[in-house]
Amino acid sequence: MRWLTLAVLAATLACGPAARAAEPQPPMLWDANERLPKPDLTKLARLRFLTTTDFPPFNFLDTAGKLSGFHVDLARAICAELAVADKCQIQALPWTELDGALAKGDGEAIMAGVAVTQENREKYAFSRSYLQFPARFVMPKAKAVTEPLYEKLKGKRVGVVAGSAHERMLRDDFPEVTAAPFPTEAALFADIKAGKIDAAFGDGMRFGFWLAGSDAADCCRFAGGPYLAPEYLGTGLAIAVKPDDKDLAAALDYALQQIALKGTFAELYLRYFPVSFY
């Protein structure tokens, strides 16, 4: 189970021995021992991040109509780390216009959840992933168990959205559970809340929002995990730049690593994701 090894590695990087016994912590996807070269951006005229307004909590318009969100604050932190705040801009466009705007030179980077696929690698150069989306189990609080879940969930009914990558992952890597496919996530949430299934399996971020909301009524909690599985769930979020702008991609990697090591990324993560999905 390669994904389980990755999950344990992520947890190890995220927190020390004492913290690992407590609730999951903000992710740490960067190796503190890796020395990335500090970029020379003296010739950079400007750094314009392109994003959208319809991907909360990553990017959205607040009640005052101001562009806000995790991506907006992360872009500002990157500009501050690279000492180019005076050259930094963040502009929101419809999703369908992002690619054209980058190609025309109306921006230098897209931070809006562009998938890191083989097809997109032909159109963009990417930074390294700064956030991945692990799969998680959710269980009723009174019955929640700890690792190894592989043993403790044998024979249990585990709900999952039908036809999803999470269903494939559950069936492949937890073959001894009884998978219970649901047509929608809402139906899955309703049955785990009502105790009609033993556990639910799916996207940790979406589960985290549900757990933090009023609909869950404090019924449930995360159990085990997190499980990182790029072969099922992709490699997460990265910043896209023009394919020939690899120097900028490297500069973004440097800034993202420094932001993570200094704790700034963790602060932003907990601000927008108060129920950590790691």
Same fold, 16-131+235-272 and 135-227: yes
d(CA 113, CA 143): 35
Write down the CATH superfamily of domain 16-131+235-272.
Answer: Periplasmic binding protein-like II (3.40.190.10)
| Biggest alpha carbon–alpha carbon distance for the chain | 61
Q: How far is CA 187 from CA 136, 162, 164, 180, 203, in A?
A: 17, 11, 14, 11, 15
- In this predicted structure, the answer to whether residue 8 has a pLDDT above a threshold of 90 is no
> What CATH topology corresponds to 135-227?
D-Maltodextrin-Binding Protein; domain 2 (3.40.190)
Q: What is the mean pLDDT of residues 8-37?
A: 63
- The domain ranges of the chain are 16-131+235-272, 135-227
pLDDT at residue 14 tops 80: no
Task: Answer whether residue 56 shows pLDDT above 60.
Answer: yes
pLDDT given for residue 203 in this prediction: 97
Buried b (16+ CB within 10 A) or exposed e, 190-222: eebbeeebbbbbbbbbebbbbbeeeebeebbbb
The pLDDT score that the predictor gives to residue 23 is 54
How much is the average pLDDT of 239-266? 96
82-125 pLDDT tens trace: 999 999 999 999 999 999 999 999 999 999 989 999 999 999 99
* Reported confidence tier of residue 253, pLDDT bands at 50, 70, 90: very high
The DSSP result for 212-261, as a single string, is HSGGGTT-EEEEEEEE--HHHH---B--EE-TT-HHHHHHHHHHHHHHHH
| pLDDT above 60: residue 5 | no
229, 233, 239, 242: CA torsion to nearest 10: 110
Q: What is the reported pTM?
A: 0.86
